[in-house]
Amino acid sequence: MFKTTGLGSSEILEKVQAKSVLTAEETAAFDRVKMRVEQICQRAFETQVPVLMDAEDSWIQNPIDDMAYEMMKKYNQQKAIVFNTFQMYRSDMLGNLRNAFHVAAMHNYFLGVKMVRGAYMEKEAERAANLGYPNPIHPSKQATDDAFNQGLAFCVDNKQRVSVLCGSHNEYSNQYLTILMHKHGMKTNDQRVWFAQLLGMSDNISFNLAKAGYNVAKYVPYGPVESVMPYLLRRATENTSVAGQSSRELGLIRKELKRRRG
Among 138, 147, 216, 249, binds ligand FAD (CB under 6 A): 138
Nearer to ligand FAD, 15 or 138 (CB): 138
CA distances from 240 to 26, 112, 120, 159 (A): 40, 30, 16, 34
> How far apart (Å, rounded) are the C-alpha atoms in residues 248 and 220?
22
Reported as type and span, the H/E element at residue 51 is strand 51-52
Question: Per 3-state DSSP, what percentage of the chain is helix, strand, and coil (rounded to 5)?
Answer: 55, 15, 30
Nearer to ligand FAD, 98 or 141 (CB): 141
**Contact region for ligand FAD (CB under 6 A) — 6-14, 41-49, 98-106, 139-147?**
139-147
> How far apart (Å, rounded) are the C-alpha atoms in residues 88 and 91?
7
Q: Restricting to residues 144-173, which ones interact with ligand FAD according to CB under 6 A?
A: 144, 167-170
**Contact region for ligand FAD (CB under 6 A) — 7-15, 19-27, 33-41, 133-141?**
133-141
SS3 164: strand
Among 198, 205, 209, 216, binds ligand FAD (CB under 6 A): 198
User: What is the DSSP secondary structure assignment for residue 5, as one 8-state letter?
Assistant: G
- 89-128 footprint of ligand FAD as x/- string (CB under 6 A): x--------------------------xxxxxx-------
How many residues of this chain interact with ligand FAD, rule: CB under 6 A?
A: 28
Q: What torsion do the CA atoms of 206, 211, 214, 217 make, to the nearest 10 degrees?
A: 40
Decide the pairing of beta strands 111-116 and 162-167.
Answer: parallel
Q: Restricting to residues 53-72, which ones interact with ligand FAD according to CB under 6 A?
A: 54-55
The site for ligand FAD (CB under 6 A) is made up of 54-55, 85, 87, 89, 116-121, 137-138, 140-141, 144, 167-170, 196-198, 219, 238, 242-243, 245
